[in-house]
Amino acid sequence: MFGFTFAKHLVGRLREEYALCCRPYAFPGAERVHRSAIVLRDPWCELSIGEGSTVEHGTILLARNERHESMAINSHIRIGRNCYIGQYNNLRTGGGAIDIGDEVYIAQFVSLIASGHGIAAGVPMRLQPIPEKRNVRIGNSAWIGVGATVLPGVTIGEGAVIGAGAVVTKDVPPQAIVGGVPAALIHYRT
């Protein structure tokens, strides 16, 4: 009985600490946010989904700051109009920001990570400094293929295409097609 009571208490605390929004009506204008999407945000972080956009099942949208409230002033996830966010994606701010333009298509199992930590020797990982490069920006009409990972500090230009399984570590120019680990230019859209 203790386990059930504790679990009930924990769920209640999570709902108090984070705005848990798992219903389409939580985002006015959004076409659909699947009920199994996990949407969490700290009270001081913004999370917005544009008109006509869809977030599929199993996707995690986490707009929060890992360590300090003062860092979260600009921490947010903003999804533009008429976007499609496929199944089982992982969008996490951790004190950074994710800005997705209009008409963006994100396939399944994609990770957009807007924060990280240092790797200094002799300092525990939980105490590592947070790097300055921590925002992810995706231009209008971009397409991100299945299983791609976009790391902190990356801007993906308008109309760019990210190949399946790519790990994007640096900015991608508009209309570019990139792929590989790390992602490299393949050619430009014509």
> In whole angstroms, what is the distance from residue 70 CA to residue 51 CA?
30
Determine which helix (DSSP H) or strand (DSSP E) holds 7, and give its type and residue range: helix 2-17
Active-site choice (34, 57, 117, 187): 117
Helices then strands (H, E): number in the chain? 1, 19
8 A C-beta contact, residue 133 and residue 153: yes
Active site residue 117: yes
Minimal CA–CA distance to 164: which of 183, 140, 141? 183
Q: Residue 100 has which token pair?
A: 């997705």
> Active-site residues: which are they?
117
